Structure 1
Amino acid sequence: MPFQNEFLTHTAMQITPRRLGLTYCLGYVFLEAFQAVYLGSLFQQVDSFRLGAWVFGLSFLGCALLAGVLYPNELKTALRSRSIVVSLNIMVALTWCCYFLAVQLIEPAIVFTIFSGMVPLGTAFAQRKAIATSPMKNQRGEVIGLALILLAILFLALITLSGHSGFVRGGWATALAGVVLAVISGTATAYVILLSVKWHEQGASPVIQFGMRFMLYVPIALMAVQLGIDAKPEASIPMAFPALVLIGMVVIALPLFLMQKAISLVSASFIAALTALGPAMVFVLQLLDGRIAYAPATLAGLAIYIVGALLAVSGIDSDVGSVVPDAQVA
């Protein structure tokens, strides 16, 4: 028994906030990549706004009820931060509305890569004062990595506009709309992370934050369903819709909650950099599965992106463990 107690104590000491936050981030990256590789085609056969309304609507109701029962005083305190609540809801709505629309217009792999890359770029832009006052020698890898990510995004945008990507639903105007929507979606996600850090500092727990962020998106999604913006014929749905919602809770809602948990443990910069690894994980899973579903030009852009993402993560390692954001978001 003494040996067992010593082992448990040693194990608990090994699970530091830094490692736990890293685990949550990697869980987010893996589930997002798993969804893209194995379930992407499945979700493309259903109304994305209908699925999003159910998945995020249930997340909102579940977290709101849980917070109301277990943390009523904390919930009241958190909701007093009206500016953060409103800003967070606007950014979340922008993220998902733009993302779901973008994947209907251009190649989903390009949307996912641009989205993932804009998260660390958007975070770096919001934190430019902190970056400007930091020693460049400690950030060289990060800066080079972000530059390569930006180069990859520009390259992917160029091949999409020129018709050399795998898919565009229309002409150059449609391609441009898809690229812009993907950029907005990723940038909005960067601000979601920064706003969440600020709200965490004011006492809002992950459960409260995760539930309260969908109050605006759900009614917008329901309106989009009524307007038939992404309507699909019932015959195209491959399984019962409740089963799709259950799958969505696991591969859409759960990874977002894992990211929310990480926000209280590691810095916003590190979360954003790890988020950028999503397309690299997608590539690895497709390689293991024996299928690389990319157009040649898309694959070239992805190669540039992966190098940049790895450099960005290695360059920002010193920020791990910092809960305080590098810059405040109004």
Structure 2
Amino acid sequence: MVLFLVAETLRLLDLYKSLRDDPRNVTNKGILLKQHAREQLTSALNASFPREQPWTESQVAVKFKNLRSEYVELKWLSSQPGFHDDGVGLSEEWWKNVKRLRPKAHAFRGKLPWIFEPKMKAIVGTQEPKQDHSEAWTAVEEEAEVDNQQLLQSQLQPQEGESSKEVADVGELTAVSSGAEPSDEGVVAPVRKVPQKRPRESDSSKNSEERGVLRAQDDDSDYDRSLARSVEQSSVAAAGMARGFQDLTSMFQEEAARCRVLEQQVVRDTRELSFLVDQRHVLLAIANSLEHSTRATADMAKGYRELVSAFVRGKTDAERQKQPEVDASVQPVTT
């Protein structure tokens, strides 16, 4: 799953709106973008937020499709008696009734006001997502499914490679032993019989101990590698979260400036009042997102510290375990 930060999603909608304003860029229904416009949208979004792996056209299209679906749920939610845009005053019983009537709409609990509503309203208006079934949109959805399948296959390839290697090893063994007839149990007889000595009990127990030590070492190595990967991934995630927080802060400052301008305009022209109300909703939603992001960043930092501490402890313990072996290998010099 590809996650879009709030700032990235707002930028996506701004770009979408600017492209949609040109009639040459939209399909017959007037909402979905044509192929060349979708390419421009994806390119502009990637230029606004450079990433290690740029978004694909299908990922951006699916994100917009999901936003349209959420907007429909919000419109239904807003039609319910007692609804408030900011979510204040909605009782537990009210939300239970929403969950009973329309479970998907219940996902908005704790997410009101919805920061994307004004921009989606400007793009979609009163139309619902699934009214436009153009071939271009269907093709993009199919591309998204193909991308997901390819990602899943790429994750499974290492495991398949290991399995094929095992099969190859068995094939080599069979090829070497193909000159002999198999027994009733299906075991390939060796070409050359070598007398086998019955292992002594002491040798057997020694071998078992050695195998146990090797297995424990392998387990420790796997754990260390897994922990190192987790530290690396957490570091990347923390950097991304910090970058998103900075973008969200910048966006809050921009929207606050717009709000001040509208407040001045309302003094001269009361027709701007509805725009000011929408702008304040956007500002409040960004403020809520900043609050959530602050808590999430603190939790991420705490988890990262614990992960690094575990990694350092593991390394220290490993060094201590190796130290007696080194000391034992050093023999005292006698004269």
Q: Give the TM-score taking structure 2 as reference length.
A: 0.27
Q: Give the TM-score taking structure 1 as reference length.
A: 0.27
The structure that is helix-richer by fraction is: 1
Which structure has more relative contact order (CA 8 Å, sep 6+)? It is 1
Over alpha carbons, which structure has the higher Rg?
Answer: 2
